[in-house]
Amino acid sequence: MSRVGDAVRAEFPILERATYLNACSQGALSHRVRAAYEEYLAGWDANGAEWEFWVERAETARAGFARLLHGAPDEVAVTTSVSQGVSAIVSALPFERGGRNRIVIGEYEFPTVGQIAHAQELRGAEVVHVRPERDGSIPVERFAEAIDERTALVCCTAISYRTGHRSDVAAIAEAAHARGALVLADSYQAVGAIEVDVRTLGADFVAGGTVKYLLASAGLGFLWVRGGLLPELLPTQTGWFADEDIFRMDISDYSPHATARRFDAGTPPVPNIYAGVAGLSLVEEAGVPAIEAHVRGLNTRLIEGLHEMGATVVTPADPAQRGPLVCVRSTDAPALVASLLEERIVCSLRDANLRVAAHYYNTDEDVDTLLAALGRRRHLLA
C-alpha cells in the first residue's frame, strides 16, 4: 500500500476537489509555490527593483538544481526552458561539413530537441533519427548503429513523454563516447520523480525544468554541463547573465563566465525562480528516493489493474524500464481525457495514449478511482 500523510495532501489544494494524475504535464500547485509568487510580488511592490536579491535567488536555484543532480553549482546553468539549454549547447558546436557534423536523435525526443537539431542543418549539420521498436522502445544497439566518427552530438530522453519507456542513458553514452561523440540527455520526465545522478548517468549535458515533477511553474529550467568540457564550449547563443561579470555592463567584447554560467542567457525569469526554489524545497523534503519508491508502487498497482481489464499498456511493466509516467492505448484519447475530467479525474494524452502520471501526493485511492472510471469507459480503451 502506498500511503500519503494528510499534511502532504493538504499542501496541494487541487487534491480536495480532483483526482490529479497529470504531473507529466504540470505538477499540482502547492500553497508553498503560491506563497513564493506572493513573496516576489510583495518585494517588487515594496522595494521596486531588488536586483541584488533576485540574483542571489537565482544562485539559490542553481545550488538546488546541483544538489538534485548530485553535481556542482558551477556545472549548472539556470535557463528558462530545455529549449534554451539545448539551443545554447548546439550553438557551441561547429558542425563543420566534412568533420563531426552529425546529430543523432531518438525518434521519440520531445519536439524542441528535434526542431533545434534540424535547425542546425542551416549550419552544416546532418540529423540522423533512431527509429523505435514496435513496442515504443529504442534499444541501445540502434543508437550504437547510428553513431559514427562523424557524430558530434547524441540526444536521448531519460523517460519518453510519449510512451513512458526509460532509456539506458549510461549505455547510450558509452557507445557515443567510444566514437568521440557528446551526449545530451533530456531529463524533464524524470527529474524530481526518479534519481538523476550526473555522476553515473554518463551524459555530458543534462537538461530539464520545473513545470512537471519539480512542482513549480513553466519558465524555469536548468542545464548541467560536465565541468571538464567547459573551456572548449563557447556558446554563441548568449546574454548578459552569461558574462564573466554581469554588472560590468561592457559591450566591447565576448567574455563568457568560466563556469556553466556561460550557458545562462539574458535577464532570468525572476518570478519563476521564486516558484522553482519553493517547488525544489518540497521535493528535497520528501526525498527523491522516497518519491521514486512511492510512485513505483502506485504505477505497479495501476498497470496490474489495467492488465486485469484487458487494456493495452504501452509502458513496460518492469519498473527498471519505466519511470513515473504510464501510458495506455485508447480508441479515442481526446474523448477519454474529456470524459474523465467530467468526474474530476485529471490526466492527459499524447498520440493515441492516455497518460497517467502520479506524484508523491497521490494515493492508492487515486489509482483505484481512476481504474474504476476506466472500467466504466472500457470501450475507450484499446
Query: For each of the chain's 382 residues, which pLDDT tens digit applies?
Result: 456 778 899 999 999 999 999 999 999 999 999 999 999 999 999 999 888 889 999 999 999 999 999 999 999 999 999 999 999 999 999 998 778 999 999 999 999 999 999 999 999 999 999 999 888 889 999 999 999 999 999 999 999 999 999 999 999 999 999 999 999 999 999 999 999 999 999 999 999 999 999 999 999 999 999 999 999 999 999 999 999 998 889 899 999 999 999 999 999 999 999 999 999 999 999 999 999 999 999 999 999 999 999 999 999 999 999 999 999 999 999 999 999 999 999 999 999 999 999 999 999 999 999 999 999 999 999 9
Separation of alpha carbons 326 and 296, rounded Å:
10
Q: Which three cell numbers stand for residue 76?
A: 549548472
348-350 vs 353-357, strand pairing mode: antiparallel
Three-state SS for 180? coil
| 3-state secondary structure labels for all residues of 202-221 | CCCEEEEECCCCCCCCCCCE
CB–CB of 237/109 below 8 Å? no
Q: Please name which of 129, 135, 100 lies closest in space to residue 113, comparing C-alpha atoms.
A: 129
pTM of the model: 0.95
| Contacts for 51 with CB less than 8 Å, ≥ 6 apart | none
Separation of alpha carbons 84 and 112, rounded Å:
10
Separation of alpha carbons 55 and 66, rounded Å:
17
76-79 vs 151-157, strand pairing mode: unpaired
Separation of alpha carbons 74 and 260, rounded Å:
6
Q: Which three cell numbers stand for residue 273?
A: 525562480
Number of Cα atoms under 13 Å in the Cβ half of residue 268: 31
Which residues of the chain are in CATH 3.90.1150.10 domains?
6-21+288-377
Residue 1 pLDDT: 44
Which residues of the chain are in CATH 3.40.640.10 domains?
33-283
For residue 27, what is the DSSP state? P
Which amino acid makes up residue 152?
A
Separation of alpha carbons 279 and 22, rounded Å:
16
Domain 6-21+288-377: CATH superfamily is: Aspartate Aminotransferase, domain 1 (3.90.1150.10)
Residue 50 pLDDT: 85
182-186 vs 151-157, strand pairing mode: parallel
Residue 2 pLDDT: 56
| Contacts for 337 with CB less than 8 Å, ≥ 6 apart | 347, 348, 349, 354
Domain covering 33-283: architecture: 3-Layer(aba) Sandwich (3.40)
CB–CB of 284/64 below 8 Å? yes
* Buried-state track 120-159, b at ≥16 Cβ within 10 A, e below 16: beeeebbbbbbebeeebbbebebbbebbeebbbbbbbbbb
